[in-house]
Amino acid sequence: MQPEDLHSAQVAVRAVRLIVRTFRSCRRIREFTAPRIHNQPTNADMVRFTCSFLVTAIAVMALGSCLPGSHPWSAPGAALVGGNSPALTEEQKRRVGMRIWQNECAGTIEGLTTWNAGENFPSLGIGHTLWFPAGHREPFTETFPEMVRFIEARGKPAPAWARPPAPSPWPDRAAFQREFNSPKMRELRAWLSRTISEQTDFLIARQNAALPKILAAAPSNERTRITRHFHALQATPEGQFALIDYVNFKGEGVNPQERYQGVGWGLLQVLQEMRGEPTGQAAVAEFARASEHVLMRRIELSPPARGEQRWRQGWQNRVRAYRNPL
């Protein structure tokens, strides 16, 4: 029996016991509240009634807390999710944002608005989140609208024309490049440059939400090992940075459209590729090795027309740097 199956069985047993207890308590309440023709309730009746009522209330609340779907552990494999990662300090969070900005944009303001050659969409912000033109479909996850909602919820409204559900206003790279210094583009870059901290928080939040999605998509017999690898990485600042950067870089690995020849390249696939049970800095080094393997496999499986060989050296440099101190 898998651990998550055992957890479900335990929940079922608890639920049955609580239902029986609740039923018995409700009978006592009914007996007390039934019309009495000759006798008024005694003090003993009152005590029994109060005790029955309290037992019923406690049982109902406990039952609700253990039913599937009533808490985050109800997701597949979520019974294996436990523990909290050490919180990054404000200085560590600042360094996370700066390193990702350097990775994606060379640390420049101009790099906050980019449309890479050979791609069909712009990449925006320190994490180069994707924003698709109207009617455009891609086998990738669009993340710019999600980031805008996140930042606006923190009191930093985006330019009105960039708010979801608006599509990217540039239909292609040529139009984007022509308007690179237009008032609209400068307005967008100014907003992005004012929200570096919020963008960093968005990337961290995305990493924090990744594990339940990954476990839901992973084979049940791999969930325990994947969880151990994830938590081993979360235990160090360098490991947390590696998780944050990779989820932003190549996604969680759960989108079935993000596949070449049926093989994905996201965080799920990297955690599956990790070997042994490393901890501390050894876990970070093993994650860097596994990341490089997964990315090189993606390049080999990619359609030749995409020309992904051009990314080989840059991707290798990026994930090898995970071994460096934060």
Distance CA(146)–CA(307), nearest Å, equals 28
Helix axes 237-250, 223-234, angle to 10 degrees: 120
Mean pLDDT of all residues in the chain? Answer: 82
CA 312 to chain CA centroid, Å, is 26
pLDDT, residue 29, reads 39
Which residues in the chain land under pLDDT 50? 1-13, 15-16, 18-20, 22-23, 25-26, 28-39, 41, 46-47, 49-51, 53-83
Q: Between 223-234 and 280-301, two packed helices, what is the crossing angle to 10 degrees? A: 120
Q: Give the per-residue pLDDT at 138.
A: 83
Secondary structure in 3-state letters for the chain: CCHHHHHHHHHHHHHHHHHHHHHHHHHHHHHHHCCCCCCCCCHHHHHHHHHHHHHHHHHHHHHHHHCCCCCHHHCCCHHHCCCCCCCCCHHHHHHHHHHHHHHHHCCCCHHHEECCCCCCCCEECCCCEECCECCCCCCCCCCHHHHHHHHHCCCCCCCHHHCCCCCECCCCHHHHHHCCCCHHHHHHHHHHHHCHHHHHHHHHHHHHCHHHHHHHHCCHHHHHHHHHHHHHHHCCHHHHHHHHHHHHHHCCCCCCCCCECCECCCHHHHHHHCCCCCCHHHHHHHHHHHHHHHHHHHHHHCCHHHCHHHHHHHHHHHHHHHHCCC
Give the model's pLDDT for residue 37.
Answer: 39
pLDDT at 139: 81
Q: Convert the pLDDT of each residue in 67-120 to its tens digit.
A: 333 333 233 333 333 345 678 999 999 999 999 999 999 999 999 999 999 899
Q: Minimal CA–CA distance to 193: which of 181, 185, 205?
A: 185
The gap from C-alpha 62 to its chain's centroid, in whole angstroms, comes to: 29
Rounded to an integer, what distance in angstroms lies between the CA atom of residue 99 and that of residue 97? 6
Q: Which of 202, 241, 193 is nearest to 89 (CA)?
A: 241
**Which pLDDT does position 45 carry in this prediction?**
52
Beta bridge partners of residue 133, listed in sequence order? 168
The residues facing 114 across adjacent strands are 123
Residue 112's identity, in one-letter code, is L
Q: What is the pLDDT of residue 42?
A: 55
Cβ atoms 97, 42 nearer than 8 A:
no
pLDDT for res 86: 74
